[in-house]
Each structure stands twice: as structure tokens, then as C-alpha cells.
Amino acid sequence: MDNNTVVVLANPTEPQLAMLEQLPPETRLAVGNSVEAFTGAAPAADVIYNWSLSGDLLREVFLMCPHVQWVHSRAAGLDNVLFPELIESPVPLTNGSGVFSQSLGEFALGAILYFAKDFRRMIRNQMAGVWDAFDITEISGQTVGIVGYGDIGRAVATRVRAMGMHVLAVKRHGPPLYNVDPLVDRIYAPGHRLEMLSRCDYVVVAAPLTPESRGMIGEAEFDAMKPEAVVINLGRGPVIDEAAMVRALSGGRIKGAALDVFDREPLPEGHPFYRLENVLLSPHCADHTPDWMDRAMQFFLEQFERYRKGEPLMNVVDKRLGY
């Protein structure tokens, strides 16, 4: 495919846009953050790249592009991107799944060690000038449960397995034939998640946000967890019932939580998470390595080369499932 027209939804000042100069010279580009920026290019557009803007603008631009053949979203999460016209259309949608998973896997391992070794207590004693020896926990032999066993879940499983931990997982479509994933001891269907949660020392939530997953970790799930359990959320905030989690943390029903995503972002001033001693709070930046945005753009460039050559695209989304 030659002489492609690509519309890129982005603030034109973002530095990674310079990498688009690597596209074939015959490629026509239109970059902007308003509908008006695309009025000239939209009728001939083959590709829409949603780099950094809202789903509302994406919908407007999509409806302006009658010949679009492919839509790509920089982010892995699609809950703010999908809209009925895109879902119903035959146009393939791809996302950035996998680009950021390694760093998120490292964050999960870091959070596990943070609670097992009680780093907060170490820092508090150090700042107070207190010498106070205490016991810590060895993570080898403990169990990690992963809710949403996709690319991020596998990145977590790879790292905790290397530390001698056991891995359980919840996957929407249940266990694969013969349950042969070498990283996972057992895969559960979502309807059996309470059974899995009751066995876990750490619960890593990495599920995408869909109508089925919204609030899937709620009061019953926290009641099923061990008092020593730690919840780590790397997926989407609303997958966990936030009010139920605050109650579980405040009441000591679980040991703690490490959170990178929230119902509202930025987290509102005065939110209980800011003052809870058993919460490790990351402002949705657990995958923000120095080159994370460069890698996201490089992935699109590689995808575009596949598209141009008529090769299968990576990360094709099931738009009805939402991931």
C-alpha cells in the first residue's frame, strides 16, 4: 500500500511526533488536536493514529474518514477509545499492549518486596533516627494471584516465578486446554475468582476495563482474601470497587495495597489513599521509563510497515470484548 494518508490525534508540539519523519516519504500526514485540523486530509485518510487525545475527538475524526482502513491507539487500555461506530465497523483497531508491560511487571515485583520487607518501616525508622530491628517476610514459596492474565499478567508471572513464587490466574475464558501455561500453577474462570483469591498472598489486578470487569473486585472479593493479602492494581482503577477497598484497608481486613491506577485521576485532594499507612501510591506512572513514549511511537512505525506491506498487524483488538 503506497501514498497513504495518516491522521494523528495529538498536540502538534509533542516531541515524539518528529519520529513520524521515518514514515515513507510519499506518506501524507495530518497532525492536530481539533476537528478542523483534519478537514483537508480526512476524506483520503487510510490510517488514524490516536496518540494522546480523547475518545470524543477520535469518534468525530473517525466519522470524517470514510475510507479509513486501520485505527491505532497508543495506549493499551481502550475503555475511553471504543465507541459504537468503531465497534460495529470492519475497521481493525490495534493498541499498545505489550509496549509497557515489562516496566509494569517490575513495579509489581517491587511492590511485593516493599510490603514483604516493610520498606516503609525502614524509612520511617531511618528518618526518626531509630534503631529498631524487626522480622521480614520471605516471598519465595508465597502465592501471587493475577486477575486478568494478558500481556501485563505474563510480565508479572515471569518475574515472580523467578523469585520462587507460585502463580495463579483468573482469565476471562477460563483455563486453556490441559492448562499447560508453564508460568501458572492454575488458571481460573472469573466465576471461580473467590476460590483463587482465598489462596493468594498478593493479588495483582491487570484486567482491562469492560462492562464485565467493572467492580469485579468488591466486598465479596476482599472478604475472601487473607488478612495478610496485598492488592496491586496495574490495570484500570474501576476494576476494583474503590470504596470497598478503602474499607478493607482501613479495617485491617487486608495487609495493604500498591496502586498505580484510580477511579479518578489525578487522585482528588483529601482522598483516604493519601493518608493510609498501608497504601503505596503511584500516580499512574509505573510504566513511565525515560523512553516509554519513544517506544510507543516506534511500535506504531513498525505496525505501519506491516500495514504498508499488507502483513498481519499485531495487537488486533476484539472490539466487542474491549481488549
**pLDDT tens digits, one per residue of 123-162:** 999 999 999 999 999 999 999 999 999 999 999 999 999 9
Other C-beta atoms closer than 10 Å to the C-beta of 29 total 16
Summarize the confidence of residues 94-120 as an average pLDDT.
97
CATH number at residue 172: 3.40.50.720
State the pLDDT at residue 177: 47
118 and 95 inside one domain: no
Choosing from 120, 284, 295, 306, the catalytic residue is: 284
Asked if residues 85 and 63 have their Cβ atoms less than 8 Å apart, the reply is: yes
State the pLDDT at residue 172: 81
For all residues of the chain together, what is the average pLDDT? 95
State the pLDDT at residue 3: 86
In the chain, the number of structural domains is 2
Residue 236 a catalytic site member: yes
- Residue with the three cell numbers 517491587: 110
Domain residues for the domain of 87 are 5-99+290-309
- Tell me the Ramachandran region of residue 229: left when phi exceeds 0, alpha when psi lies from -120 to 50, beta otherwise: beta
Choosing from 265, 302, 305, 311, the catalytic residue is: 265
Examine the pLDDT at 114 and tell me if it is beyond 60: yes
132 and 256 inside one domain: yes
114 and 258 inside one domain: yes
User: Looking at the DSSP assignment, which residues form a beta bridge with residue 72?
Assistant: 49, 94
261 and 242 inside one domain: yes
Choosing from 72, 74, 236, 242, the catalytic residue is: 236
pLDDT digits (tens, 9 = 90+) for 265-319: 999 999 999 999 999 999 999 999 999 999 999 999 999 999 999 999 999 999 9
| 314 in any annotated domain | no
42 and 121 inside one domain: no
| 210 in any annotated domain | yes
149 and 233 inside one domain: yes
pTM exceeding 0.85: yes
Asked if residues 322 and 95 have their Cβ atoms less than 8 Å apart, the reply is: no
105 and 206 inside one domain: yes
87 and 188 inside one domain: no
| 134 in any annotated domain | yes
Residues in the chain: 323
**Count helices and strands in the chain by DSSP H and E runs:** 9, 12
- What are the cell numbers at 57? 475527538
Query: How far apart, in whole angstroms, are the C-alpha atoms of residue 149 and residue 230?
Result: 18
| 319 in any annotated domain | no
CA distances to 5, 16, 23, 30, 91 from 41, rounded to whole Å, are: 7, 21, 17, 6, 18
115 and 84 inside one domain: no
Residue 265 a catalytic site member: yes
pLDDT digits (tens, 9 = 90+) for 39-61: 999 999 999 999 988 789 999 99
DSSP 175: P
| 72 in any annotated domain | yes
| 10 in any annotated domain | yes
Residue 269 a catalytic site member: no
Query: How far apart, in whole angstroms, are the C-alpha atoms of residue 240 and residue 249?
Result: 13
34 and 171 inside one domain: no
126 and 270 inside one domain: yes
Summarize the confidence of residues 217-236 as an average pLDDT.
98
| 316 in any annotated domain | no
| 66 in any annotated domain | yes
89 and 181 inside one domain: no
